[in-house]
Structure 1
């Protein structure tokens, strides 16, 4: 594995040296895409002060969507963590510090693992990713960044359009199939999408990981109505059921996630040009529930009750999260200096949880006797209510210089309403966050930018109040926790012209009051605010066309160094983040026998990584790796397309940090047909 890590490092560093003349982005990073992520104002990626990536529908169709992470593998700074369910890391920040949104509305999670993306990949219109602290415009939990999933609306210009997508994924002997029908009838538009997926145990070059299965079923409905040319309303309903087995590599320790289910209802209003001083007015309201069941089973030979006797510990957590929220935003034109953006957001997030632990200690060798059984159960009900006001002003400083200045005020109240184990408790916070950006476009092909933005992550209800038992350990919430905060500084350059583009960013993030688990003795852990964390790095996306040929070399690279300061005198750069990761490749556009498409041959990989705790002990580590892969996208006809992915062609064994072991040499095939 060390040889492979050195190989991929050499390739990536070499490509970085070429980044001055090649640039940004595979198709998934088109600089002309328009987004409101980062500023709240419709702004092209090229002119945005923030680090933004937009993946549109056309680019999504070129990727075989085993899971949502398949769409994000080429985005710089992004690593997909996978322990049963995929979650997203950005710039080394843990998954729980990345804000996940669906149609601009936040998904919430109160575990230590972070929020998974609970959306059918075939119901996605586009994905927007912002990297770095972004809580002024985006909201709480956006310390590492934001991933916003925009779901599809009705098909235009037709009363009924049917789309079907299905595929096979060889690394898990799994499949995914989805179908949708959508259209527009007069002032109404609609779409209904249903899908199912089932993935077997992961097959690696050396073995099959048993158990590591996962499955999902989904149903989504969209109804829209165009009131008049300037006003539009829509209603969306979504159901997404997911289950998974977590591979632990220990037959005496099992983790099962039989339910990770989302039900979501939302209504939207969009107004344009309602008054000379109000170009846009948007409002939305939503209600969602997340049902989560977590089961674990541990067998050990050193029980706490009967010496030298086998013990079984069974843990069960059955949670229901209920969230409703309201967002109102407006783009205003009241100052001659530039556009204005204001917003109001309210979120009421509540969690009901029932947790139990059953410890069965069998008698030691000798005279037979009954097992010693200990049952521990508890129920808790807690809530977080967040109110915030925010605004951002654009400044047209000259024909070539644009400035941005934003701020957000937070007021948060958390409460343990009911508990069978402890008295009611509370926690609250209020504070102001700011952001500032500057973009200079000396010519139409070049943009230089400076951006400073703050991030904010209020503790989850689990971190504040709840007590959890798993794997023979007990985790206790801490009601005195402070929110995590971060400030990100970015210097960036973009170029788009002469057949080449570039999007390069240097970033530095200074974080305070990180919440981590620390030992309290006797197998008990508790959450505490450690002193600080710092990260800096470089992201480069690059692509260029070689002359008049059909060949386009590209690179998507991230270098990052992170350091934890635990506040006890111990600092470590072993923060669990690979220093270098990404992909380097070449694409070839073809037109064969009336079929057009793209071939993409690339090397994908990362360096090794280690995570240490506050004592310096290694918690976990991961191998570096480099994989040779080839993807092909083919437009079979005007209405049908085929994607084929040849994964891990050299059948490399790899075991990256925060992921299960990588899949063996395999083939993914996915067909999309619209009629």
Structure 2
């Protein structure tokens, strides 16, 4: 295995200048003051979680339950205080600070319908209101994740309109089928930086702790013009929680069990199957320095035989404000997991039991990342950021196709990404430009010892012609190289339009090109498991696409919102796992494919926001044009509904999912998976009950979650039953 570590002397040479710079900056600090106040609405109710910041600086805070905020370590001078929160009119106040602390007293916000929309950052690499973006964007808040007691991040995405999961592999509007964790057409970011393994380039949901997530933003449609390869089908951006101004401690404990299957012949264990875990985190800011640390443990017996799991993780974040205009953040995670391997069932009569040769198969993995971000605000209209991330992945298993050895598969990979981004804003322009470079290195007995790199330049301008029309042109140029394959480049332009015919109406249109370079795993995989042989294909070419979307959204008063979109995607050289004439699996370029469809979303709030209802319907016609047939593993219909009602300290919620059965699978799977054609539409009903109370001045939340309440059995992979009914009881404590 290659030694990928830097020499100690090299590390010392990098770290010492940084420490000297930080110390010198700290010693040169000037006298500072604090700004405090209280935010109320028109009816004197405190406004919680309002974003209060000084425009043109990095200084800011969020209001607490009482609507109070405090911004510390602000130098004397003239500033503009901005208060922004969903559902209220933006408030800006000019301030002149002297040598004394400033108490602003009570500030009142006016509720308006137009700003009852979230602020998103992923669509244009900067903050925007949802109605100002030219693409479809959805969001999952940290509150939604917590209320559903999501254990892994992919569970938090189950009710995002237009998105479905095949196992843990994400498809947005039919962009992806299933290739068992190898390659992804949806790019996953963590705080705007790609979060990928160096070998498979897969999405990594299990290595991020859910209690550290502030929100998840999902951009639907090709994002290659800003984010490059792997964003051909969309982008998922996980935004981390900010470090709190006041000390904040949170503890979450949960436990649950699986119900026996509906069919007695499927029962394989005479004992109850349990799952449990805990999460803890602590956050605090002191002067210019802040930190957040957390840890957790999850374990489950599994509802299928040989599907148990054990996971441990730690995470942390440290921030330092050099001044009100310069900020450095460092963060990282480490996760270790061991679990059984259930590839597919023995047959439909034994749907929760794997074939005998899979029993005892295990996979062990360690994953972690280190990330850094430096942001400098030059003035009200200019700022730049420098971000970098190193992602390390190491896994091994005892799954071997060789009867004489049990060495199994092993891979160690590293992925390093660096981004420089500059933003400029004026009355008519919002310019985003920058450069990105990343590299991958792999040492593996399944993917070989390979490396690759990618370099890119990108630019996008949001040009506002008048108060109704905005034009959004963009361009990204990528150059990439992969061992044994060679070099190539891609030029991906885009053009977007946003037209606002009325105060509460927005029309949008976007079109652009996308691409995805094959991962090292797709090109070089060579292994055998459970009778399946996978062989390399060094002739793989990058995928290319053209995508377009037309959309419309409308506010009807303050409490009703509707969004509709029609979309079109045309793919060339689509990479899918295929059986060749010898019966081996090989990743190949499908000649041509296309997806068309539409999506409708409807949001409603009523009874003073106590009742919340959301519905999304997506129709996708995914065609293999070369074969004049449906693309494999794509559902045509997705219906997601969510409703919650709050009565005092009690909240009741219900979620419903309908996913139509795949029109087509890879028929060759019938050769080694019995009853591979068995599939039905999915009807999943989840219920939750949450009770919030105070215990000795501490916030406590108890919740009961019933997932798949109707015990409806369906498959989420070929030959694999989706989770059966299970109940989770959780207790959360905040201090």
Bin for the TM-score computed over the shorter chain: 0.7 to 0.9
1:275-332 per-residue CA deviation (whole Å, 9 max, x = no partner) reads 46x5221111222211122442569xxxxxxxxxxx6885721101112121011112
Give the aligned partner of residue 174 of structure 2: 92
Counterparts of 2:495 and 2:338, CA distance in 1: 42
> How far apart are the structure 2 equivalents of 1:539 and 1:651?
28
How many residues in Structure 1 have an aligned counterpart in Structure 2?
582
2:299 maps to 198
For residue 452 of structure 1, report the CA deviation from its aligned partner.
1.4
- Of 276, 279, 292, the residue aligned with 2:382 is 279
Counterpart in 1 of 2:192?
104
CA-CA distance at 1:549 after TM superposition: 8.7
Describe the superposition over 1:118-149 as per-residue Cα deviations: whole angstroms up to 9, x where unpaired: 20111212211111111111221012211111
Deviations 1:91-139 (A, max 9, x none): 2232621111222221224667932312011121221111111111122
* C-alpha contact 2:197 2:415 (8 A) present in aligned 1: no
Q: Which moved more, 1:599-608 or 1:42-51?
A: 599-608
Distance 2:669 2:301 in 1: 37
Partner of 1:409: 477
Does residue 351 (structure 1) correspond to residue 445 (structure 2)? The answer is no
Say if 1:121 and 1:623 are closer, same or farther in 2 by CA, change over 3 A. Answer: same
- Does the CA-based 8 Å contact 1:315-1:469 persist in structure 2? no
Residue equivalent to 2:103: none
**Whole-angstrom distance in 2 between the partners of 1:655 and 1:185:** 50
**Aligned to 2:155, what secondary structure does the other structure show?**
helix
Secondary structure of 1:76's counterpart equals: coil
- Single out whichever of 221-230 and 61-70 deviates more from structure 2: 61-70
Q: Secondary structure at the match of 2:226?
A: coil
Q: 2:321 — aligned with what?
A: 226
Corresponding residue number in structure 1 for 2:149: 64
Displacement of 1:231: 0.9
The equivalent of 1:161 in structure 2 is 248
- Does the Cα contact within 8 Å between 1:392 and 1:406 map onto a contact in 2? yes
Q: Hey, what's the Cα distance between the residues in 1 that align with 2:172 and 2:197?
A: 17
In the alignment, what sits opposite 2:128?
Answer: 43
CA distance in 2 between counterparts of 1:616 and 1:168 reads: 37
Retained in 2: the 8 A contact 1:81–1:658?
A: no
- 8 Å CA contact retained: 2:399, 2:409: no
Change (3 A) 1:168 1:528: same
Closer, same or farther: CA 92–201 of 1 in aligned 2, 3 Å = same
Larger deviation: 390-399 or 457-466?
Answer: 457-466
Q: Is the 8 A contact 2:573 2:590 kept in 1?
A: yes
Change (3 A) 1:621 1:448: farther
Q: CA deviation at 1:469?
A: 2.6
2:540 maps to which of 466, 475, 481: 481
CA distance in 2, matches of 1:612, 1:220: 40
CA distance in 1, matches of 2:670, 2:466: 54
Aligned to 2:219: 130
Is the CA contact 1:610–1:622 (under 8 Å) kept in the aligned structure 2?
no
In the other structure, the counterpart of 2:567 is: 507
What TM-score comes out, normalization by structure 2 length? 0.74
CA distance in 1, matches of 2:667, 2:683: 31
> What SS class does the counterpart of residue 399 from structure 2 fall into?
strand
Q: 1:456 to 1:621 in 2, by over 3 A?
A: farther
Summarize the Cα distance change of 1:229–1:546 in structure 2 as closer, same or farther, 3 Å threshold. Answer: closer
Q: Is the 8 A contact 2:197 2:414 kept in 1?
A: no
CA contact (8 A) 1:64 1:644 kept: no
Q: Does 1:174 align with 2:275?
A: yes
Q: Deviations over 1:149-201 (max 9, x none)?
A: 12233222x2x321111212333521121101110000000011101100211
Q: Does the residue aligned with 2:478 lie in a helix, a strand or coil?
A: strand
For residues 111 and 350 of structure 1, the distance between their equivalents in structure 2, rounded to whole angstroms, comes to: 8
The residue aligned with 2:513 is: 454
Q: Deviations for 1:598-645, whole angstroms, at most 9, x for unmatched residues?
A: 322343221111434498989755321213332233322362223322
Q: Distance in 2 between matches of 1:456 and 1:55?
A: 26
Counterparts of 1:581 and 1:465, CA distance in 2:
35
Pair 1:457–1:246, CA change in 2 (3 A): same
**Cα 1:550–1:233 shift into 2, 3 Å:** closer
Unaligned segments of structure 1, at least 5 residues: 1-29, 203-208, 300-310, 356-378, 416-424
Q: State the secondary structure of the residue aligned to 1:413.
A: strand
Q: SS in structure 2 opposite 1:636?
A: strand
How far did residue 336 of structure 1 move?
A: 5.8
Native 8 Å contact 2:201 2:519 kept in 1: no
Report the equivalent of 2:391: 288
State the distance in 2 between where 1:342 and 1:190 align.
30
> For structure 2, which runs of at least 5 residues remain unmatched after alignment?
1-114, 179-183, 259-272, 346-353
| 1:332-411 matches, cutoff 5 A | 332-333=424-425, 337-355=428-446, 380-411=448-479
| 2:307 match | 212
Aligned partners of 1:430, 1:662: CA distance in 2, in Å? 40
Task: Give the distance between the partners of 2:602 and 2:407, measured in 1 at CA.
Answer: 48
**Higher relative contact order, chain-length normalized (CA < 8 Å, sep 6+):** 1
Structure-2 residue corresponding to 1:428: 487
- Partner Cα separation in structure 2 for residue 292 and residue 102 of structure 1: 21
- Distance in structure 2 (CA, Å) of the matches to 1:621 and 1:433: 41
* 2:499 aligned residue (437, 440, 454): 440
Aligned to 1:13: none
In the other structure, the counterpart of 2:654 is 601
SS in structure 1 opposite 2:126? coil
Aligned equivalent of 2:72? none
Q: Distance in 2 between matches of 1:341 and 1:550?
A: 39
8 Å Cα contact 1:435/1:452 also seen in 2: yes
Q: Confirm or deny: 8 A CA contact 2:400 2:409 kept in the other structure.
A: no
Aligned alpha-carbon RMSD (Å): 2.6
Q: How far has the Cα of 1:648 moved from its partner? A: 2.5
Q: How does 1:595-634 map to 2 (within 5 A)?
A: 595=649, 597-613=650-666, 622-634=679-691
How big is each residue's C-alpha offset from its partner over 1:584-610, in whole Å with a ceiling of 9 and x where there is no partner?
35332211xxx2x43223432211114
User: Distance in 2 between the 1:88 and 1:658 partners?
Assistant: 16
CA contact (8 A) 1:609 1:621 kept: no
Tell me the TM-score normalized by structure 1: 0.81
Deviations 1:411-433 (A, max 9, x none): 00111xxxxxxxxx232111200
Name the structure where strand makes up a greater proportion of residues: 1
